[in-house]
């Protein structure tokens, strides 16, 4: 990799536009990034680190995203058509001035992903599929407001869910939360990933390898790609301003998956056993982290 030498004088105005002198603003910050890069770590580019102004706009987008998931939580029940969840997302998002980010994203044909039981992710909210007693379903919402992106998902349990499936849902949430606990400035994404996969594997589950989280905010999917199988000290440096999703897909059986050949989107477990996923959007701050969408 190449690291650009910082050619800015210590008494010059900081590059960030704060109006402060560089030495009183981003000098120490840049030095930390530079030395991590020299040690061979992957470090974030300036472009993906969010400014306070951008964070405020992204939070407004997230208000809508959270409202979508809250509305789904209120209404979801046995016998409901999956397309009703799509209707709820459209209704809530449009009434609050936003746009559902999935719609037409790389040709995705709906406003939300609904992934039931052995569906791992990107399930279509079909008009002729009804939620049944015992189903576990992930509803994944993403919103654009004034060009700023938010993204989070939750699991819902319909009626009487088996103890086995309930445990998968709960352990997956715990794994995400344990990952979140590791999000702090000057750590590494691998610290988070290790916490996620260690908890999932300790419970006998497997972690999907091919599909991960992502940077987010100014685009739907930005750098970095966020996996859950790496270990402490690996992957990108978590500098303050880095914003990304933690969204592990945890399978009860094998980690092997396949994608529906007909529609090219819906992902299933190879063994037909259930899969669960929770997703939060998080910002690395100077002192720890802030959850942006949940
Ligand atoms: N919300 C999904 C994610 O977490 C987005 C999948 S792309 C879509 O990244 F087109 F299916 F929405
Ligand atoms: Co996401």
Does residue 266 line the site of ligand 1, with CB under 6 A? Answer: no
Q: Is the pLDDT of residue 125 over 80?
A: yes
In ligand 1, the atom with minimum distance to the C-alpha of 122 is: 11
d(CA 256, CA 24): 50
Confidence of residue 121 (pLDDT cuts 50, 70, 90): very high
- Which residues 6+ apart lie within 8 Å of 88 measured at CB? 68, 71, 72, 75
218-240 residues labelled b (16+ CB within 10 A) or e (exposed) = bebbbbbebbbbbeeebbbbbbb
Instruction: Read off the pTM.
Output: 0.96
Q: pLDDT tens-digit profile of 161-204?
A: 999 999 999 999 999 999 999 999 999 999 999 999 999 999 99
Confidence of residue 3 (pLDDT cuts 50, 70, 90): low
Res 4: pLDDT: 55
The stretch 235-259 carries a mean pLDDT of: 98
Q: 285 burial class (0-12, 13-18, 19+ CB within 10 angstroms)?
A: middle
Nearest ligand, CA of residue 121? Answer: 1
Does residue 293 line the site of ligand 1, with CB under 6 A? Answer: no
Give the 3-state secondary structure of residue 254. Answer: coil
- Which residues are found with C-beta within 5 Å of the ion, ligand 2? 151, 245
Q: Picking from 14-18, 79-83, 153-157, 260-264, which range would have the lowest pLDDT averaged per residue? A: 14-18
Q: pLDDT tens-digit profile of 130-141?
A: 999 999 999 999
Write the CA distances from 116 to 104, 132, 139, 150, 248, integer angstroms: 22, 10, 9, 22, 16
d(CA 65, CA 153): 9
Ligand 2 center from residue 142 Cα (angstroms): 8
Give the 3-state secondary structure of residue 96. Answer: coil
Residue nearest ligand 1's atom 5 by CA:
102
Greatest pairwise CA separation for the chain in angstroms: 66
Nearest ligand, CA of residue 282? Answer: 2
The stretch 32-40 carries a mean pLDDT of: 96
Q: pLDDT tens-digit profile of 261-292?
A: 999 999 999 999 999 999 999 999 999 999 99
Confidence of residue 145 (pLDDT cuts 50, 70, 90): very high
- Which residues 6+ apart lie within 8 Å of 119 measured at CB? 138, 266, 267, 268, 275
Ligand 1 pocket test, candidate residues 220, 244, 248, 266, most atoms within 8 A of CB: 220
Res 2: pLDDT: 52
Res 188: pLDDT: 98
Does residue 123 line the site of ligand 1, with CB under 6 A? Answer: no
Does residue 249 line the site of ligand 1, with CB under 6 A? Answer: no
Residue nearest ligand 1's atom 2 by CA:
140
d(CA 123, CA 125): 7
Ligand 2 center from residue 218 Cα (angstroms): 13
Res 17: pLDDT: 87
Ligand 1 center from residue 165 Cα (angstroms): 23
């Amino acid at each position: 990799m190449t690291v650009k030498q910082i050619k800015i004088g210590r008494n010059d105005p900081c590059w960030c536009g704060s109006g402060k002198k560089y030495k009183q603003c981003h000098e120490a910050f840049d030095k930390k990034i530079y030395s991590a890069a020299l040690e061979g770590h992957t470090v974030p580019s300036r472009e993906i680190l969010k400014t306070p102004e951008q964070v405020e706009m992204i939070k407004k987008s997230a208000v809508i995203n959270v409202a979508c998931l809250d509305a789904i939580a209120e209404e979801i029940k046995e016998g409901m058509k999956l397309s009703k969840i799509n209707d709820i997302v459209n209704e809530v998002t449009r009434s609050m001035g936003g746009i559902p980010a999935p719609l037409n994203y790389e040709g995705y044909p709906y406003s939300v992903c609904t992934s039931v039981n052995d569906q791992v992710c990107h399930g279509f909210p079909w008009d002729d599929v009804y939620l049944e007693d015992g189903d576990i379903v992930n509803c994944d919402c993403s919103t654009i407001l004034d060009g700023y992106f938010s993204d989070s998902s939750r699991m819902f349990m319909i009626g009487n869910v088996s103890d086995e499936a309930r445990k998968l849902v709960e352990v997956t949430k715990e794994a995400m939360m344990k990952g979140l606990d590791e999000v702090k400035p000057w750590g590494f994404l691998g610290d988070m990933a290790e916490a996620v996969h260690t908890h999932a594997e300790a419970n006998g589950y497997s972690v999907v390898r091919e599909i991960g989280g992502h940077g987010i905010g100014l685009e739907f999917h930005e750098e970095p790609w966020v996996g859950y199988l790496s270990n402490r000290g690996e992957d990108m440096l978590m500098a303050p301003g880095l914003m990304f999703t933690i969204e592990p897909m945890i399978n009860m059986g094998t980690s092997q998956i396949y994608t529906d050949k007909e529609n090219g989107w819906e992902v299933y477990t190879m063994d037909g056993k259930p899969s669960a996923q929770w997703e939060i959007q998080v910002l690395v701050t100077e002192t720890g982290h802030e959850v942006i969408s949940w």
